């Protein structure tokens, strides 16, 4: 008689064959090895016919969000099946065309806190990659102390009237909808915050892109002036926004640390050892010629490997319990440090070639590295700054309390 592990292995083998056959029939060879340009914070590009076909196929199959419930357009796969699917996609250089903040943050949160009507309205569109979401959290006077936010949603009977300003709205100029924290009670700080869904095309919504040091403008200032929001767009109850918002941040930090869609991009690019050989040369043994640099590259890659293994373990533990925990703050901080360390090492290896901004004398990869290095400075700020994560770690993991 077959044991449970043997039956599970046999079932996964069957699913692997199914996934391999489906991918062979549906993944366009022209997209092999390319990144998902449609699920980033950069300006949306006009998708090719093959990209449209691939997105449609994955959306209809539900495999863009493989473990989400099939009833809402997800794949309904087990964790083991989702892992097999990822392995088979990696084997042929396929990428997931379904992504963005709807997948990374809002969808998992709505599945937990939304009512049935909200799930049926919003989750399938996210699963098919049809709607782009943005996040309305930070304000000019409420960054690290987010609970000080002042964007106000006034109860007008059958709708809310929203007035206020958000900043650092990632992808706001391209988004269709926004999940936002707003104040519905001015007499209470945390208990006066609610979680509201806002149509970015509604009258009174204005976005102004912010140009970053990297030269891109992925973030915006967002202004709400007498914006009407239907009452049914309230997630949870009035005053529950702080609880829901914190839960969403755990999902965000899990992804930003590498536990979600960001994992494949965190350490993307040419291996540091090969980069060093290209720019610094190799010795007679085929090693990076600079011994000190060689050792620092080895230490970084050891830290990176340990980090990725820890992420995998934490992800499995989260799925077997109640989802992401406060431990995501640790992962966020470590992931940010490793990302910045890698960028610094890359620029050091490339020397002057890694500091080009424009003009002749630099390859496209070298110009991209400069912008990647500059962009990486924000990793320890967005999604909750390193200092904020340290507070979370101290209070919620180490059990340290404030003392007056």
Q: Give mean pLDDT, residues 85-111.
A: 92
Residue 231 clears pLDDT 90, i.e. is over it: yes
Q: Give mean pLDDT, residues 33-46.
A: 57
pLDDT the model gives residue 125: 97
pLDDT cut 90: percent of the chain above it: 57
342-380 pLDDT, tens digit per residue, is: 999 999 999 998 888 888 889 888 888 888 888 788 788
53-74 pLDDT, tens digit per residue, is: 999 999 999 999 999 999 999 9
Residue 267 binned pLDDT confidence (cut-offs 50, 70, 90): low
Residue 305 clears pLDDT 70, i.e. is over it: yes
C-alpha distances (whole Å) from 247 to each of 192, 223, 250, 259 are 17, 25, 5, 15
318-343 pLDDT, tens digit per residue, is: 555 555 566 777 888 888 899 899 99
Catalytic pick among 81, 252, 348, 360: 252
- Cα-based torsion angle of the residue sequence 95, 101, 103, 105 in order, rounded to the nearest 10 degrees: 130
Secondary-structure breakdown of the chain: helix, strand, coil percentages, each rounded to the nearest 5: 50, 15, 35
The pTM assigned to this predicted structure is 0.76
Residue 103 binned pLDDT confidence (cut-offs 50, 70, 90): very high
Residue 317 clears pLDDT 80, i.e. is over it: no
d(CA 263, CA 201): 32
Residue 18 clears pLDDT 90, i.e. is over it: yes
User: Among this protein's residues, is 252 annotated catalytic?
Assistant: yes
Query: Torsions phi, psi of 301, nearest 5?
Result: -70, -30
d(CA 377, CA 281): 28
Q: Give mean pLDDT, residues 174-196.
A: 96
Among 17-21, 149-153, 398-402, the least confident range: 398-402
What mean pLDDT, rounded, does the chain reach?
Answer: 86
pLDDT the model gives residue 328: 75
pLDDT the model gives residue 39: 44
**Hunting for tokens 């990176």 — which residue is that?**
304
Of the two residues 259 and 53, the one the predictor is more confident about is: 53
Helix (H, G, I), strand (E, B) or coil at 114: coil
The alpha carbon of 395 is separated from its chain's Cα centroid by a whole number of angstroms, namely: 25
CB atoms under 10 Å from CB of 149, counted, come to 27
């Amino acid at each position: 008689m077959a044991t449970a592990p043997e039956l599970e292995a046999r079932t996964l083998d069957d699913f692997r064959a199914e996934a391999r056959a489906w991918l062979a029939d549906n993944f366009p060879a022209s997209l092999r090895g390319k990144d998902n340009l449609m699920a980033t914070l950069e300006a949306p590009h006009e998708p090719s016919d093959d990209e449209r076909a691939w997105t449609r196929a994955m959306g209809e199959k539900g495999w863009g969000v493989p473990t989400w419930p099939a009833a809402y357009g997800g794949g309904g796969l087990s964790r083991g099946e989702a892992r097999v699917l990822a392995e088979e996609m990696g084997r042929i250089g396929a990428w997931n065309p379904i992504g963005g903040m709807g997948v990374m943050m809002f969808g998992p949160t709505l599945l937990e806190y939304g009512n049935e009507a909200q799930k049926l309205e919003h989750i399938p569109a996210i699963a098919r990659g049809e709607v782009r979401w943005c996040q309305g959290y930070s304000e000019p006077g409420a960054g690290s102390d987010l609970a000080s936010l002042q964007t106000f949603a006034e109860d007008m009977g059958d709708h809310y009237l929203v007035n206020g300003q958000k900043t650092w709205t990632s992808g706001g100029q391209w988004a269709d909808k926004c999940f936002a924290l707003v104040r519905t009670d001015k007499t209470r700080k945390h208990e006066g915050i609610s979680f509201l869904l806002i149509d970015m095309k509604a009258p009174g919504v204005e976005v102004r892109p912010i140009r970053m040091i990297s030269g891109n403008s992925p973030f915006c200032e967002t202004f709400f002036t007498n914006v009407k929001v239907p009452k049914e767009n309230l997630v949870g109850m009035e005053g529950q926004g702080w609880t829901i918002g914190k839960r969403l941040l755990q999902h965000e930090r899990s992804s930003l640390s590498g536990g979600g869609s960001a994992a494949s991009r965190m350490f993307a690019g040419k291996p540091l050892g090969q980069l060093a050989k290209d720019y610094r040369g190799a010795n007679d043994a085929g090693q990076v010629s600079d011994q000190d640099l060689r050792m620092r590259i080895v230490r970084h890659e050891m830290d990176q490997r340990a980090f990725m293994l820890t992420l995998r373990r934490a992800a499995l533990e989260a799925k077997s319990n109640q989802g992401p925990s406060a431990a995501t703050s640790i992962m966020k901080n470590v992931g940010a440090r490793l990302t910045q360390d890698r960028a610094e090492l890359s620029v050091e290896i490339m020397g002057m070639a890694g500091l080009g901004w424009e003009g002749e004398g630099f390859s496209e990869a070298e110009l991209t590295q400069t912008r990647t290095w500059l962009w990486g400075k924000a990793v320890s700020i967005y999604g909750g700054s390193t200092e904020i994560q340290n507070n979370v770690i101290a209070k919620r993991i180490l059990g340290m309390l404030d003392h007056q």
